[in-house]
Amino acid sequence: MNILQFTGVIAFGSFLAGFLGSITGLGGGVVIVPLLALALGVDVRYAVGASLVSVIATSSGAAAAYVKEGFSNVRIGIFLEMATSAGALIGAFLATRLPVSAIGVIFGLVLLYSAYQAISMKSEQSLSLHSSDRLAVRLKMEGTYPGEEGPVKYHVRSVPQGFGLMAVAGTLSGLLGIGSGAIKVIAMDQIMGIPFKVSTATSNFMIGVTAAASAGIYLSRGYIDPGLAMPVTLGVLAGSALGARFLTTARTPVLRRIFSAAISILALEMIYNSLTGRL
């Protein structure tokens, strides 16, 4: 495979990753890192570095569309970013200290847990029955999102628990380069009671800031290769823009199944290759 073919494969795979990341809130990194590390033999740290750049691109490509459509809750996103950004710095530091195989196993386990949580989440109808807690009301986190029959109001609960889980999400972002979208969506949807589409859109709004917090450390360590990051970024931008349009009309149960199936397969591949020394 020559350099032109190699770049084309990366760009196409990144396009698919950007599309999946946009409609599920994953950020695309869960596809890009295994694609580069497993299929193309790229060192996992360079794969994580390129993934972080692509995560920033995904956020830029999809977040604006979601804010315009009224799905993103900017107030919630800005508040939770304080936790994820701090965690991202810790994760980026740990990434330079842990062996590659350990990073791969952690990556796989996180994805398997995310897949399980996605298919076991409560329905949005049941989540909408609870009322906002005192802190959420004080921070004015309640909002609405476009529904088939007009704006749908939702409430927010368990803000401290969600904030703590966001710190964990940020650490995983810096360590694994996945944007931590999987954990963010679960924290907002399952813990804080925010509807899945709002969680996905707000996750896309947040992941760029989280990734930027740790990307600087990878850049200073020499783990961001412009020749690798460029096709990844361009592909993800195109895919995320298409995914943003698809999300507004897609049904939530379908998104959950796509979410679970995609990351379950990638998780098993990542764990197997890490344990067998192929990563």
Please write the tens of the pLDDT for every residue from 24-61: 656 566 678 878 887 788 888 888 888 888 777 767 66
Nearby residues of 121 by Cβ (< 8 Å), 6 or more positions away:
186, 189, 190, 196, 256
Which one is predicted more confidently, 131 or 199? 199
Tokens 């944007």 appear where?
Answer: 179
pTM: 0.68
DSSP string over 44-97: HHHHHHHHHHHHHHHHHHHHHHHHHHT---HHHHHHHHHHHHHHHHHHHHHHTT
Residue 126 pLDDT exceeds 50: no
Q: Which among 107, 85, 90, 121 is positioned nearest to 38, based on CA atoms?
A: 107
Please write the tens of the pLDDT for every residue from 143-192: 888 877 788 888 898 899 999 989 988 887 777 766 666 678 778 887 88
Domain spans, the chain: 3-275
Tokens standing for residue 38? 């497993």
Residue 233 pLDDT exceeds 80: yes
